[in-house]
Amino acid sequence: MDSLLQAFIFLSAGVVAVPIASRLGLGSVLGYLIAGVLIGPFALNLLHDATQLMHFAEFGVVMMLFLIGLELQPSLLWRMRFPILGMGGLQMALTTAAITGIAMYFNQPWQTALAIGLILSLSSTALALQILAEKKLMNASSGKSSFAVLLFQDIAVIPIIAILPLLAITAPLTNVDTANIAAVVTADAHSSGGGNLIAHLPGWQQTIIVVMAVVSIILAGRFLTRPLFRFIADSKLRELFTATALMLVIGIALLMTTVGLSPALGAFTAGVVMADSEYRHELEANIDPFKALLLGLFFISVGASIDFALLGSKPIVIMEIVLGLVALKFIILLFLAKLFKIPGGGSYWFSFSLAQGGEFGFVLLASTLENRILHKETIDILTAAIALSMVLTPLLILFNEKFVIPRFKEDKSTTTADEEPMEEQDNPVIIAGFGRYGQIVGRLLIGNDIPVTVLDHSATHIERVRRFGFKVYYGDAGREDLLHTAGADKAKVLVIAVDDREKAKSILKMAKHSYPHLLVHIRAYDAMHYHELKSEGADFISRELFLSSLSMGEKTLQALGMRAYKAKRQARQFAVHDQKTTDRLGEHISDNKRYISESRHAQEEVLNILRGDRMSYRTSEDHSWDATGHE
Amino acid sequence: MNRILILFAHPALEKSKVQISLLKAAQSVDGVTIHDLYELYPDGLIDVVYEQDALTEHDIILFQHPFYWYSAPAMLKEWQDLVLEYGFAYGASGNALRGKTLANIISAGGSKNSYSTHGHNRYSIIDLLRPFDQTANLCGMNYLPPFAVHRTHDMPKEKIEMYAELYRQLLWKLQRDLPSEETLASLRYLNDWVQS
């Protein structure tokens, strides 16, 4: 009951605060943070244990990293190598060096100073990407650059975690102490009940185990997930797929926790490994709602965990650290933005959105406690500083939007909206259903160098056509979220080629409702279906067997001795005549209010068509090239 | 021996009397290649490479068609537009047709006399065929006067047969010979050359 009550409190805090914050133009992140502060121990005090909650909600970050990994096919990663290595590398190097220098100036030993520098150089992926996505900047160069930097940081966490134990200046705690501290501080100790099992090992052994764990994830992701998903997909139970996806992410998190690694990194690696998988879109669609909820929860818990008592006792020091951190990061980021020529206002979006400490900072701080790299007091202060810097970000973004960006408005060419779109992973055509019908459509398009995103929910189908180099994704095109992930908001045409008439209709309805700009070309089962689809607003409807039957008729006429060109014209004329007949009957259907059973109607229709055929052949006798004037 | 290629264009051969007879006559002559364009390409998608190869392998090209609106049926125009490519038929390196011979084999509803300054068609057949003449010229081909069947619409069967036979003789003669320069100077119809 109690946990339900807690869940209710979170949800209602979010449901109340986030829409208000969005309405006020503050953005959802600030909304969640405010909600967190409000229900936190220093306001309404409705929470039992904000820290524990944060650890639970950090799982949202794990899922986010998994999803980010899924978006990053190795090829895309390769194309982004220069911004990632250049901008990301420089950002980390400069920020770490600056912070390390400052810490050493305040008489910290170099190991401690370096640890602080590394930890604070990270920004918040969750926060920055959420904000950039909300401002629709992910495709702008500011969004691309931010993503590159964040990605470098996320990757850099792996070596940082491996290096941190080597920075310890005193002997590690005993096993028991470690377990205690882990229970208090690490996210995953709670969710897994396990905790770090290798913390007692020497640093170099830990490093080896960490590397082995990552390698095992890569190998398993590459070779085991596809047969697993195929097996699950064949069961045709959607909830089972969701369960498998969650199981996968949680399993990775557990494994990573066991070896003392950040579960988020494991999830990211697994995501990248599976980015080429045909089940990618379905995975995304399944994980995304959980991620969004948990991230909301994460932001709430960040808000709730701000230690106002500590803040009250050392307001000056903490505020100095927060402002110093944000200012330092901002300056370095702005310098990078100029160096890498992010145009106009984009450089400020980039700099403001990344100028904060990150959620990985919390995780790393926890591990520094385990490894006795930092003092408990320092960790508390830094944790508070990171949380506050995260609260500051949405405010700075607001400031940027209201006061900085307007100054760039005059120069049209530098506004974010005009910037070139991100790497073309958003294909202009989506084909739903890749059986015999969809494949022909796809082959014609691909033959004309038009990239196509293909969705199909038959695993055996996918397996077969993938061998021929088609990019086919497993999934049910009838799900709005999946269609969205397939890029429906950017695509020009959706080709619905599924053979199930009701399914086709429901996809059409959903697509027309959610993506009014999208042209929908659809395969109709028969004339009746054709009328239904027409009334639902399909842009082009093709009756599935019509052209095939027509060409059969044409060839038969030819076999009986009719000249090829005449047979062709007869077939074409028949098609025109048939279209007219069909449309006329369609009007009749909409006029006729009373219910006629479908089969009865179809029967009647056939008779009408046959009657019409004979009449039309009497009237539309072909007078072309009659030998009157000329030969 | 001259190799003859006939590019035959008739969109509704089933309604034709004259052209079908002429076609049958051509089919009866050994060594004559016939491309029945409307039968080969009912959807208008002409196989350009196949057509160009055929041109390369023949010496005399004949456009056989009804004289629709003082020209050829649409498919034969399409054929010219697609097959007589720059770099193949004309242009600096386009000399695949150089030295070959072109002529039109036509059937027309109007009488011989109607195709004159005083007739209702106002121009002679030769004048009206100028676009073909110049096409041949641009491709470096020799253009011959046409073989024509006039007043086709009410032509009795025997007369059609007579023309078919004349056409057969023309093809036979063309395989072995071409009109001389002097003959060409005064020749208005290939019909007259066969009979000479």
Residues whose CB is less than 8 angstroms from the CB of residue A342 and which lie 6 or more positions away in sequence, other chains included: A141, A142, A145, A350
Taking 70 as the threshold, does the pLDDT of residue B24 lie above it? Answer: yes
Q: What pLDDT does A622 receive?
A: 58
**C-alpha distance from residue A364 to each of A90, A182, A260, B99, B179 (Å):** 21, 12, 11, 86, 99
Closest CB to B42: pick one of A568, A624, A625: A568
The structure tokens listed for B145 are 């006067």
Which DSSP string do the residues of A295-313 spell out, in sequence order?
A: HHHHHHHHHHH--HHHHHH
pLDDT tens profile A244-272: 888 888 888 888 878 766 677 778 778 88
Taking 50 as the threshold, does the pLDDT of residue A611 lie above it? Answer: yes
The listed range with the strongest mean pLDDT (A116-130, A481-495, A549-563) is A549-563
CB-CB contact of A153 with A364 (8 Å)? no
Work out the minimum CA distance from A551 to partner chain B, whole angstroms: 12
The structure tokens listed for A537 are 């607003």
Cβ contact B42–A564 (<8 Å): yes
**What average pLDDT does range A98-102 have in this prediction?**
92
Cβ contact B38–A564 (<8 Å): yes
**What average pLDDT does range A24-32 have in this prediction?**
77
| Residue closest to B148 by CA, chosen among B118, B85, B191, B92 | B191
CB contact, 8 Å: B21 with chain A?
Answer: no
CA–CA dist A367, A365 (Å, integer): 5
Cβ contact B67–A628 (<8 Å): no
Please say whether the structural domain A429-618 has been given the CATH code 3.40.50.720.
Answer: yes
Q: In chain A, which residues have their Cβ closer than 8 Å to the Cβ of B42?
A: 564-565, 567-568
| Residue closest to B21 by CA, chosen among B166, B131, B179, B160 | B160
CB contact, 8 Å: B179 with chain A?
Answer: no
CB contact, 8 Å: B135 with chain A?
Answer: no
Tokens 């959980």 belong to A290
- Helix, strand, coil percentages (3-state) for chain A, rounded to 5, are 70, 5, 25
Domain ranges for chain A, please list them. 2-418, 429-618
Confidence of residue B87 (pLDDT cuts 50, 70, 90): very high
- Tell which CATH classification among 3.40.50.300, 3.40.50.2300, 1.20.1530.20, 3.30.2350.10 matches the domain A2-418: 1.20.1530.20
pLDDT tens profile B43-58: 999 999 999 999 999 9
Closest CB to A565: pick one of B11, B68, B107: B11
Confidence of residue A414 (pLDDT cuts 50, 70, 90): very low
Taking 50 as the threshold, does the pLDDT of residue A607 lie above it? Answer: yes
Q: What pLDDT does A468 receive?
A: 64
Taking 50 as the threshold, does the pLDDT of residue A618 lie above it? Answer: no
Closest CB to A563: pick one of B38, B108, B109: B38
Widest CA span in chain B: 49
Q: Which of left, alpha, beta for A561 (phi over 0: left; psi -120 to 50: alpha)?
A: left
CB contact, 8 Å: B44 with chain A?
Answer: no
CA–CA dist B75, B53 (Å, integer): 19
Work out the minimum CA distance from A439 to partner chain B, whole angstroms: 24
How much is the pTM? 0.54
DSSP bridge partners of B66 = B107
* The CATH number of the domain covering residues in B4-195: 3.40.50.360
Closest CB to B42: pick one of A565, A622, A626: A565
Taking 80 as the threshold, does the pLDDT of residue A77 lie above it? Answer: no
Q: What pLDDT does A168 receive?
A: 76
State the average pLDDT for chain A: 78
Helix (H, G, I), strand (E, B) or coil at B184: helix
**What average pLDDT does range A322-337 have in this prediction?**
92
Work out the minimum CA distance from B29 to partner chain A, whole angstroms: 22
Sheet holding A493-496, edge to edge: A472-474, A452-456, A429-432, A493-496, A519-524, A540-543
ipTM of model: 0.85
- Of A3-12, A527-536, A600-609, B152-161, the one with minimum mean pLDDT is A600-609
CB burial of residue A120 (10 Å; 0-12, 13-18, 19+): buried
Cβ contact B42–A627 (<8 Å): no
pLDDT tens profile A278-294: 788 788 888 888 888 88
The listed range with the strongest mean pLDDT (A159-173, A443-457, A577-591) is A443-457
| Residue closest to A382 by CA, chosen among A314, A484, A292, A297 | A314
| Residue closest to A363 by CA, chosen among A239, A500, A260, A464 | A260
What's chain B's length in residues?
Answer: 196
| Residue closest to B172 by CA, chosen among B8, B29, B17, B14 | B29
Cβ contact A630–B152 (<8 Å): yes
DSSP bridge partners of B60 = B4, B101
Work out the minimum CA distance from B38 to partner chain A, whole angstroms: 6
Closest CB to B11: pick one of A562, A625, A628: A625
CB contact, 8 Å: B108 with chain A?
Answer: yes
Looking at per-residue confidence, does A538 or A606 come out higher? A538
Q: Residue A357, CB half-sphere, CA atoms under 13 Å: how many?
A: 29
Q: What pLDDT does B196 receive?
A: 78
**What average pLDDT does range A73-92 have in this prediction?**
83
Work out the minimum CA distance from A569 to partner chain B, whole angstroms: 8
Signed CA dihedral, A322, A325, A330, A331: sign only: positive
The structure tokens listed for A102 are 């400052």
CB contact, 8 Å: B19 with chain A?
Answer: yes
Looking at per-residue confidence, does A398 or A474 come out higher? A398
Closest CB to B42: pick one of A567, A624, A627: A567
Helix (H, G, I), strand (E, B) or coil at B161: helix
Signed CA dihedral, A429, A435, A437, A440: sign only: positive
Cβ contact B39–A631 (<8 Å): no
Please give the share of chain A, as a percent, with pLDDT higher than 90: 17
pLDDT tens profile A354-395: 999 887 787 788 778 777 788 888 888 888 888 889 888 888
Q: What pLDDT does A417 receive?
A: 34
Work out the minimum CA distance from A544 to partner chain B, whole angstroms: 21
Q: In chain B, which residues have their Cβ closer than 8 Å to the Cβ of A562?
A: 14
CB burial of residue A253 (10 Å; 0-12, 13-18, 19+): buried
Q: What pLDDT does A626 receive?
A: 67
CB contact, 8 Å: B43 with chain A?
Answer: yes
**What average pLDDT does range B144-157 have in this prediction?**
93
First to last CA, chain B: 20
Let me know the angle formed at the C-alpha of A478 by A476 and A480, rounded to the nearest 5 degrees: 105
CA–CA dist A151, A89 (Å, integer): 10
Residue type, A309: A
Interface test with A, best of B15, B67, B71, B163 (most A CBs within 10 A): B15
CA–CA dist A299, A252 (Å, integer): 23
CB-CB contact of A73 with A54 (8 Å)? no
Q: Which of left, alpha, beta for B58 (phi over 0: left; psi -120 to 50: alpha)?
A: beta
Query: What is the b/e burial string over B162-195, where b = at least 16 CB atoms within 10 angstroms of the residue's CB?
Result: ebbebbbebbbbbbeebbeeeeeeebebbbebbe
**What average pLDDT does range A193-199 have in this prediction?**
56
Residues whose CB is less than 8 angstroms from the CB of residue B44 and which lie 6 or more positions away in sequence, other chains included: B75, B78
Q: In chain A, which residues have their Cβ closer than 8 Å to the Cβ of B10?
A: 625
pLDDT tens profile B7-18: 999 999 988 999
Taking 50 as the threshold, does the pLDDT of residue A178 lie above it? Answer: no
CB-CB contact of B115 with B121 (8 Å)? yes
Residue A103 has φ and ψ, to the nearest 5°, of -65, -40
Q: At what angle do helices A564-591 and A546-559 cross, to 10 degrees?
A: 140
Cβ contact B68–A630 (<8 Å): yes
